[in-house]
Structure 1
Amino acid sequence: MTKLRIHRCGTRSHLRHGISLLEVAISSLLVGVTLVASLQTVGAVYRTQRLNASRLTGSSLAMELMTEILAMPYEDPDINSLTLGRESGESAVNRLDFDDVDDYKNLNSLGVKSKDGTAIADLTAWRRQVDVNWFDPLTGLNAILDSKLKKIVVTVTSPVGDVTTLTAYRSKWGMLEQTPVVDTTAVTWIGATLQVGVGNPSTYIGTQITNLASDAP
Protein backbone atom coordinates (compact mmCIF):
# COMPACT_ATOMS: atom_id res chain seq x y z
CA MET A 1 0.00 0.00 0.00
CA THR A 2 1.28 3.35 -0.97
CA LYS A 3 0.93 6.19 1.50
CA LEU A 4 0.62 9.74 0.28
CA ARG A 5 1.88 12.55 2.34
CA ILE A 6 0.24 15.89 1.75
CA HIS A 7 2.24 18.98 2.57
CA ARG A 8 0.25 22.18 3.05
CA CYS A 9 1.98 25.35 2.06
CA GLY A 10 0.84 28.66 3.50
CA THR A 11 2.04 32.10 4.39
CA ARG A 12 2.45 33.36 7.90
CA SER A 13 1.01 36.80 8.55
CA HIS A 14 3.37 39.27 10.18
CA LEU A 15 1.81 41.85 12.55
CA ARG A 16 3.28 45.37 12.50
CA HIS A 17 4.20 46.84 15.83
CA GLY A 18 5.21 50.39 14.71
CA ILE A 19 4.96 53.04 12.00
CA SER A 20 7.23 53.76 9.13
CA LEU A 21 9.57 56.72 8.80
CA LEU A 22 7.42 58.10 5.99
CA GLU A 23 4.35 58.11 8.21
CA VAL A 24 6.31 59.91 10.93
CA ALA A 25 7.42 62.57 8.46
CA ILE A 26 3.90 63.16 7.13
CA SER A 27 2.41 63.33 10.63
CA SER A 28 5.07 65.79 11.76
CA LEU A 29 4.40 67.96 8.72
CA LEU A 30 0.65 68.05 9.38
CA VAL A 31 1.14 68.89 13.06
CA GLY A 32 3.63 71.61 12.18
CA VAL A 33 1.32 73.24 9.63
CA THR A 34 -1.58 73.19 12.10
CA LEU A 35 0.57 74.64 14.88
CA VAL A 36 1.90 77.45 12.69
CA ALA A 37 -1.62 78.37 11.54
CA SER A 38 -2.85 78.40 15.14
CA LEU A 39 0.03 80.59 16.32
CA GLN A 40 -0.55 83.03 13.46
CA THR A 41 -4.24 83.29 14.36
CA VAL A 42 -3.51 83.86 18.04
CA GLY A 43 -0.84 86.42 17.17
CA ALA A 44 -3.19 88.33 14.88
CA VAL A 45 -5.89 88.44 17.57
CA TYR A 46 -3.39 89.68 20.16
CA ARG A 47 -2.03 92.38 17.84
CA THR A 48 -5.57 93.56 17.06
CA GLN A 49 -6.48 93.75 20.75
CA ARG A 50 -3.29 95.63 21.58
CA LEU A 51 -3.79 98.07 18.72
CA ASN A 52 -7.42 98.74 19.69
CA ALA A 53 -6.45 99.32 23.33
CA SER A 54 -3.62 101.61 22.26
CA ARG A 55 -5.90 103.62 19.97
CA LEU A 56 -8.54 103.98 22.68
CA THR A 57 -6.02 105.21 25.24
CA GLY A 58 -4.38 107.53 22.71
CA SER A 59 -7.71 109.07 21.72
CA SER A 60 -8.73 109.57 25.34
CA LEU A 61 -5.44 111.24 26.24
CA ALA A 62 -5.64 113.52 23.21
CA MET A 63 -9.25 114.51 23.94
CA GLU A 64 -8.47 115.20 27.59
CA LEU A 65 -5.64 117.59 26.78
CA MET A 66 -7.55 119.21 23.91
CA THR A 67 -10.53 119.88 26.18
CA GLU A 68 -8.21 121.50 28.70
CA ILE A 69 -6.74 123.73 25.99
CA LEU A 70 -10.09 124.77 24.50
CA ALA A 71 -11.32 125.81 27.93
CA MET A 72 -8.60 128.49 28.07
CA PRO A 73 -9.02 132.08 26.79
CA TYR A 74 -8.05 132.77 23.20
CA GLU A 75 -5.29 135.17 24.26
CA ASP A 76 -3.52 136.22 27.45
CA PRO A 77 -5.94 138.27 29.57
CA ASP A 78 -3.13 140.37 31.03
CA ILE A 79 -0.55 140.79 28.26
CA ASN A 80 -1.17 141.83 24.67
CA SER A 81 1.44 139.62 23.01
CA LEU A 82 2.21 139.68 19.29
CA THR A 83 3.76 136.21 19.34
CA LEU A 84 2.58 132.72 20.19
CA GLY A 85 3.87 130.80 23.17
CA ARG A 86 4.32 131.14 26.90
CA GLU A 87 4.92 134.54 28.42
CA SER A 88 7.69 135.33 30.87
CA GLY A 89 7.26 133.62 34.23
CA GLU A 90 5.06 130.79 32.93
CA SER A 91 6.44 127.31 33.64
CA ALA A 92 6.91 124.85 30.81
CA VAL A 93 6.06 121.85 33.03
CA ASN A 94 3.31 123.18 35.30
CA ARG A 95 0.23 123.81 33.21
CA LEU A 96 -1.41 125.64 36.12
CA ASP A 97 0.63 128.65 34.96
CA PHE A 98 -1.00 128.59 31.51
CA ASP A 99 -3.68 131.25 31.04
CA ASP A 100 -4.40 131.15 27.30
CA VAL A 101 -4.54 128.74 24.38
CA ASP A 102 -1.14 129.40 22.84
CA ASP A 103 0.70 128.83 26.13
CA TYR A 104 0.44 125.16 25.14
CA LYS A 105 2.46 125.73 21.97
CA ASN A 106 5.50 123.40 21.79
CA LEU A 107 4.38 121.46 24.85
CA ASN A 108 6.29 118.16 24.77
CA SER A 109 5.61 115.92 27.74
CA LEU A 110 7.04 112.41 28.11
CA GLY A 111 4.71 110.70 30.52
CA VAL A 112 1.11 111.79 31.05
CA LYS A 113 0.86 114.40 33.78
CA SER A 114 -2.03 116.21 35.41
CA LYS A 115 -2.31 119.97 35.08
CA ASP A 116 -0.15 120.56 38.17
CA GLY A 117 2.62 118.31 36.82
CA THR A 118 1.82 115.16 38.80
CA ALA A 119 2.70 112.02 36.83
CA ILE A 120 -0.11 109.52 36.22
CA ALA A 121 0.83 105.92 37.00
CA ASP A 122 1.03 103.38 34.13
CA LEU A 123 1.19 106.19 31.55
CA THR A 124 4.79 107.30 32.04
CA ALA A 125 5.89 105.95 28.64
CA TRP A 126 3.28 107.90 26.66
CA ARG A 127 4.19 111.21 25.03
CA ARG A 128 1.88 114.20 24.40
CA GLN A 129 2.84 117.11 22.14
CA VAL A 130 0.96 120.28 21.23
CA ASP A 131 1.35 122.76 18.39
CA VAL A 132 -0.63 126.01 18.16
CA ASN A 133 -0.61 128.37 15.18
CA TRP A 134 -2.71 131.17 13.74
CA PHE A 135 -4.79 129.78 10.90
CA ASP A 136 -6.16 131.36 7.73
CA PRO A 137 -9.49 129.68 6.81
CA LEU A 138 -9.38 131.15 3.30
CA THR A 139 -6.09 129.53 2.33
CA GLY A 140 -6.20 126.55 4.69
CA LEU A 141 -2.66 127.37 5.80
CA ASN A 142 -1.04 128.66 8.94
CA ALA A 143 -0.97 132.46 9.15
CA ILE A 144 1.95 134.69 10.09
CA LEU A 145 -0.17 137.28 11.90
CA ASP A 146 -3.14 136.94 14.23
CA SER A 147 -6.12 135.82 12.11
CA LYS A 148 -8.44 135.61 15.15
CA LEU A 149 -8.43 131.83 14.65
CA LYS A 150 -5.95 129.36 16.11
CA LYS A 151 -5.29 125.82 14.95
CA ILE A 152 -4.46 123.41 17.77
CA VAL A 153 -2.90 120.00 17.08
CA VAL A 154 -2.45 117.46 19.88
CA THR A 155 -0.28 114.43 19.10
CA VAL A 156 -0.15 111.39 21.38
CA THR A 157 2.47 108.67 20.91
CA SER A 158 2.15 105.28 22.61
CA PRO A 159 5.10 103.35 24.08
CA VAL A 160 5.26 101.22 20.91
CA GLY A 161 5.03 104.16 18.51
CA ASP A 162 1.31 104.27 17.66
CA VAL A 163 0.40 107.91 16.92
CA THR A 164 -2.96 109.61 17.54
CA THR A 165 -3.51 113.15 16.24
CA LEU A 166 -6.40 115.44 17.21
CA THR A 167 -6.99 118.84 15.59
CA ALA A 168 -9.28 121.65 16.77
CA TYR A 169 -9.81 125.33 16.00
CA ARG A 170 -10.27 128.10 18.55
CA SER A 171 -11.89 131.37 17.56
CA LYS A 172 -11.36 134.64 19.36
CA TRP A 173 -15.14 135.05 19.51
CA GLY A 174 -15.91 131.56 20.77
CA MET A 175 -18.61 130.74 23.29
CA LEU A 176 -16.15 130.69 26.18
CA GLU A 177 -15.07 134.25 25.38
CA GLN A 178 -18.54 135.60 26.18
CA THR A 179 -19.07 137.06 29.63
CA PRO A 180 -21.61 134.92 31.54
CA VAL A 181 -24.62 136.57 33.16
CA VAL A 182 -23.82 134.86 36.47
CA ASP A 183 -20.81 132.98 37.78
CA THR A 184 -20.99 129.39 36.55
CA THR A 185 -18.81 126.32 36.34
CA ALA A 186 -18.86 124.55 32.97
CA VAL A 187 -18.15 120.83 33.03
CA THR A 188 -16.54 119.92 29.71
CA TRP A 189 -14.72 116.66 30.43
CA ILE A 190 -15.06 113.57 32.59
CA GLY A 191 -12.59 110.69 32.72
CA ALA A 192 -11.74 107.54 34.64
CA THR A 193 -8.89 105.07 35.08
CA LEU A 194 -9.77 101.35 34.95
CA GLN A 195 -7.46 98.62 36.27
CA VAL A 196 -8.37 94.92 36.40
CA GLY A 197 -6.35 93.05 39.03
CA VAL A 198 -3.18 94.04 40.83
CA GLY A 199 -0.16 94.75 38.68
CA ASN A 200 -2.07 94.91 35.39
CA PRO A 201 -1.83 98.04 33.21
CA SER A 202 -4.52 100.68 33.60
CA THR A 203 -6.79 101.91 30.82
CA TYR A 204 -7.37 105.66 30.82
CA ILE A 205 -10.66 106.68 29.23
CA GLY A 206 -12.86 109.74 29.16
CA THR A 207 -15.27 111.80 27.12
CA GLN A 208 -16.06 115.40 26.37
CA ILE A 209 -19.28 116.84 27.79
CA THR A 210 -20.68 119.67 25.71
CA ASN A 211 -24.05 120.45 27.25
CA LEU A 212 -23.61 120.13 31.01
CA ALA A 213 -23.17 123.15 33.28
CA SER A 214 -23.91 123.75 36.93
CA ASP A 215 -23.82 126.74 39.21
CA ALA A 216 -20.56 127.14 41.08
CA PRO A 217 -20.82 126.47 44.81
Structure 2
Amino acid sequence: MPVSVLLVDDEPLVRAGLRAVLEAQPDLRVVGEAADGAAVIPLVRELRPDVVAMDVRMPLLDGIEATRAVLRTVQNPPKILVVTTFENDEYVYEALRAGADGFLLKRARPAEIVNAVRLVAEGESLLFPAAVRRLAGEHGGRHGNAEARAVLDRAALTEREAEVLGLMTRGLSNAEIAARLVVGTETVKSHVSAVLGKLGARDRTQAVILAYESGFVAPG
Protein backbone atom coordinates (compact mmCIF):
# COMPACT_ATOMS: atom_id res chain seq x y z
CA MET A 1 0.00 0.00 0.00
CA PRO A 2 1.37 3.44 -0.89
CA VAL A 3 2.05 5.92 1.90
CA SER A 4 -0.83 8.39 1.83
CA VAL A 5 -0.04 12.07 2.40
CA LEU A 6 -2.18 15.12 3.22
CA LEU A 7 -0.62 18.47 2.20
CA VAL A 8 -1.37 21.50 4.39
CA ASP A 9 0.09 24.84 3.29
CA ASP A 10 -1.39 28.26 2.57
CA GLU A 11 0.79 28.64 -0.54
CA PRO A 12 -0.74 26.87 -3.58
CA LEU A 13 2.63 26.72 -5.34
CA VAL A 14 4.19 24.90 -2.41
CA ARG A 15 1.38 22.35 -2.37
CA ALA A 16 1.64 21.88 -6.13
CA GLY A 17 5.38 21.37 -5.91
CA LEU A 18 5.11 18.84 -3.11
CA ARG A 19 2.33 16.98 -4.92
CA ALA A 20 4.40 16.74 -8.10
CA VAL A 21 7.43 15.43 -6.22
CA LEU A 22 5.54 12.89 -4.12
CA GLU A 23 3.23 11.55 -6.80
CA ALA A 24 6.21 10.81 -9.05
CA GLN A 25 6.97 7.96 -6.63
CA PRO A 26 5.04 4.68 -6.90
CA ASP A 27 4.98 4.19 -3.11
CA LEU A 28 3.66 7.67 -2.23
CA ARG A 29 0.18 9.10 -2.84
CA VAL A 30 -1.25 12.55 -2.09
CA VAL A 31 -4.83 12.05 -0.88
CA GLY A 32 -5.79 15.66 -0.17
CA GLU A 33 -4.80 19.29 0.34
CA ALA A 34 -5.71 22.10 2.73
CA ALA A 35 -4.77 25.79 2.83
CA ASP A 36 -4.91 26.18 6.62
CA GLY A 37 -4.48 24.19 9.81
CA ALA A 38 -8.13 24.78 10.66
CA ALA A 39 -9.12 22.28 7.95
CA VAL A 40 -6.80 19.51 9.11
CA ILE A 41 -8.91 17.57 11.60
CA PRO A 42 -11.95 16.93 9.36
CA LEU A 43 -9.67 15.98 6.47
CA VAL A 44 -7.60 13.63 8.64
CA ARG A 45 -10.77 11.94 9.87
CA GLU A 46 -12.15 11.62 6.33
CA LEU A 47 -8.98 10.65 4.45
CA ARG A 48 -6.97 8.84 7.15
CA PRO A 49 -3.55 9.82 5.73
CA ASP A 50 -0.39 8.13 6.95
CA VAL A 51 1.50 11.43 6.95
CA VAL A 52 0.46 15.09 7.16
CA ALA A 53 2.96 17.53 5.59
CA MET A 54 2.09 20.64 7.59
CA ASP A 55 3.24 24.21 7.07
CA VAL A 56 4.29 25.70 10.40
CA ARG A 57 3.06 29.26 9.70
CA MET A 58 -0.53 29.68 8.48
CA PRO A 59 -3.02 32.55 8.91
CA LEU A 60 -5.92 30.99 10.84
CA LEU A 61 -4.47 28.01 12.68
CA ASP A 62 -0.71 27.47 12.58
CA GLY A 63 1.03 24.12 12.38
CA ILE A 64 1.76 24.01 16.10
CA GLU A 65 -1.86 24.29 17.19
CA ALA A 66 -3.01 22.06 14.34
CA THR A 67 -0.54 19.38 15.46
CA ARG A 68 -1.77 19.60 19.04
CA ALA A 69 -5.38 19.38 17.87
CA VAL A 70 -4.78 16.31 15.71
CA LEU A 71 -2.93 14.42 18.43
CA ARG A 72 -5.50 15.41 21.05
CA THR A 73 -8.66 14.54 19.13
CA VAL A 74 -7.88 11.93 16.45
CA GLN A 75 -7.61 8.24 17.28
CA ASN A 76 -4.52 6.62 15.74
CA PRO A 77 -3.28 9.98 14.43
CA PRO A 78 -1.05 10.23 11.38
CA LYS A 79 2.62 11.11 11.46
CA ILE A 80 3.14 14.85 11.17
CA LEU A 81 5.96 16.32 9.13
CA VAL A 82 6.37 20.06 9.63
CA VAL A 83 7.26 21.99 6.47
CA THR A 84 9.22 25.15 7.10
CA THR A 85 11.28 27.85 5.39
CA PHE A 86 13.80 28.34 8.21
CA GLU A 87 15.16 25.37 10.15
CA ASN A 88 16.15 27.51 13.15
CA ASP A 89 12.65 28.90 13.57
CA GLU A 90 11.36 28.57 17.14
CA TYR A 91 8.02 27.62 15.59
CA VAL A 92 9.67 24.42 14.35
CA TYR A 93 10.89 23.52 17.83
CA GLU A 94 7.48 24.27 19.31
CA ALA A 95 5.87 22.03 16.68
CA LEU A 96 8.25 19.20 17.57
CA ARG A 97 7.46 19.71 21.26
CA ALA A 98 3.76 19.63 20.39
CA GLY A 99 4.16 16.19 18.84
CA ALA A 100 5.34 16.61 15.25
CA ASP A 101 7.51 13.72 14.12
CA GLY A 102 10.05 15.68 12.09
CA PHE A 103 10.50 18.62 9.79
CA LEU A 104 11.22 19.33 6.15
CA LEU A 105 12.71 22.44 4.60
CA LYS A 106 10.77 23.99 1.70
CA ARG A 107 14.03 24.38 -0.20
CA ALA A 108 14.83 20.66 0.11
CA ARG A 109 15.67 18.74 -3.04
CA PRO A 110 13.06 16.31 -4.41
CA ALA A 111 15.02 13.27 -3.23
CA GLU A 112 15.21 14.74 0.29
CA ILE A 113 11.46 15.41 0.33
CA VAL A 114 10.68 11.85 -0.72
CA ASN A 115 13.13 10.40 1.80
CA ALA A 116 11.72 12.57 4.60
CA VAL A 117 8.16 11.39 3.99
CA ARG A 118 9.25 7.76 3.85
CA LEU A 119 11.30 8.06 7.04
CA VAL A 120 8.59 9.75 9.04
CA ALA A 121 6.02 7.21 7.79
CA GLU A 122 8.25 4.39 9.01
CA GLY A 123 8.76 6.14 12.33
CA GLU A 124 12.32 4.88 12.68
CA SER A 125 14.70 7.80 12.21
CA LEU A 126 14.74 11.30 13.58
CA LEU A 127 14.96 13.72 10.65
CA PHE A 128 17.96 16.04 10.43
CA PRO A 129 19.38 15.31 13.90
CA ALA A 130 22.06 18.01 13.62
CA ALA A 131 19.39 20.63 12.99
CA VAL A 132 17.30 19.35 15.90
CA ARG A 133 20.36 19.62 18.14
CA ARG A 134 20.79 23.24 17.04
CA LEU A 135 17.11 23.94 17.73
CA ALA A 136 17.44 22.41 21.17
CA GLY A 137 20.48 24.56 21.84
CA GLU A 138 18.76 27.77 20.72
CA HIS A 139 15.26 27.19 22.06
CA GLY A 140 15.28 24.15 24.33
CA GLY A 141 16.95 25.83 27.27
CA ARG A 142 13.93 27.97 27.98
CA HIS A 143 11.78 24.82 28.14
CA GLY A 144 14.13 22.65 30.17
CA ASN A 145 12.54 22.24 33.55
CA ALA A 146 12.10 20.13 36.63
CA GLU A 147 9.09 18.42 35.06
CA ALA A 148 11.19 16.99 32.22
CA ARG A 149 13.86 15.89 34.67
CA ALA A 150 11.19 14.26 36.86
CA VAL A 151 9.86 12.31 33.87
CA LEU A 152 13.35 11.00 33.16
CA ASP A 153 13.93 10.13 36.82
CA ARG A 154 10.62 8.26 37.06
CA ALA A 155 11.45 6.35 33.88
CA ALA A 156 14.32 4.63 35.70
CA LEU A 157 16.02 3.66 32.45
CA THR A 158 18.46 0.78 32.63
CA GLU A 159 22.07 1.44 31.71
CA ARG A 160 21.55 -0.04 28.25
CA GLU A 161 18.29 1.89 27.70
CA ALA A 162 20.06 5.12 28.64
CA GLU A 163 22.82 4.25 26.17
CA VAL A 164 20.23 3.66 23.44
CA LEU A 165 18.52 6.99 24.21
CA GLY A 166 21.87 8.75 23.93
CA LEU A 167 22.43 7.22 20.49
CA MET A 168 18.88 8.16 19.48
CA THR A 169 19.66 11.81 20.24
CA ARG A 170 22.44 11.58 17.66
CA GLY A 171 19.94 10.50 15.00
CA LEU A 172 21.15 6.91 14.65
CA SER A 173 18.74 4.40 13.13
CA ASN A 174 18.02 1.05 14.74
CA ALA A 175 20.50 -0.63 12.40
CA GLU A 176 23.19 1.94 13.22
CA ILE A 177 22.58 1.57 16.96
CA ALA A 178 22.76 -2.22 16.61
CA ALA A 179 26.11 -1.95 14.84
CA ARG A 180 27.44 0.44 17.47
CA LEU A 181 26.36 -1.81 20.37
CA VAL A 182 27.13 -5.07 18.55
CA VAL A 183 23.64 -6.49 19.07
CA GLY A 184 20.77 -7.48 16.77
CA THR A 185 18.32 -4.94 15.36
CA GLU A 186 15.42 -6.72 17.07
CA THR A 187 17.17 -6.21 20.39
CA VAL A 188 17.53 -2.51 19.62
CA LYS A 189 13.85 -2.28 18.64
CA SER A 190 12.96 -3.76 22.04
CA HIS A 191 15.17 -1.24 23.84
CA VAL A 192 13.73 1.68 21.83
CA SER A 193 10.17 0.53 22.60
CA ALA A 194 11.05 0.26 26.29
CA VAL A 195 12.56 3.77 26.29
CA LEU A 196 9.49 5.28 24.59
CA GLY A 197 7.14 3.45 26.95
CA LYS A 198 9.00 4.50 30.10
CA LEU A 199 9.24 8.12 28.97
CA GLY A 200 5.62 8.21 27.79
CA ALA A 201 6.92 9.45 24.43
CA ARG A 202 4.86 9.10 21.26
CA ASP A 203 7.93 8.52 19.11
CA ARG A 204 11.68 8.96 18.87
CA THR A 205 11.45 12.70 18.25
CA GLN A 206 9.53 13.25 21.49
CA ALA A 207 12.03 11.11 23.39
CA VAL A 208 14.92 13.16 22.01
CA ILE A 209 13.23 16.47 22.87
CA LEU A 210 12.72 15.24 26.44
CA ALA A 211 16.34 14.10 26.61
CA TYR A 212 17.48 17.65 25.81
CA GLU A 213 15.02 19.44 28.06
CA SER A 214 15.70 17.18 31.03
CA GLY A 215 19.44 17.75 30.79
CA PHE A 216 20.05 14.06 30.00
CA VAL A 217 22.11 15.20 27.03
CA ALA A 218 23.51 18.64 26.28
CA PRO A 219 22.63 20.20 22.91
CA GLY A 220 25.36 21.17 20.50
Query: TM-score scaled by structure 2?
Result: 0.24
Relative to its length, the structure with more strand (as a share) is 1
Q: TM-score, normalised by structure 1?
A: 0.24
Structure with greater Cα Rg: 1
* Greater fraction of residues in helix: 2
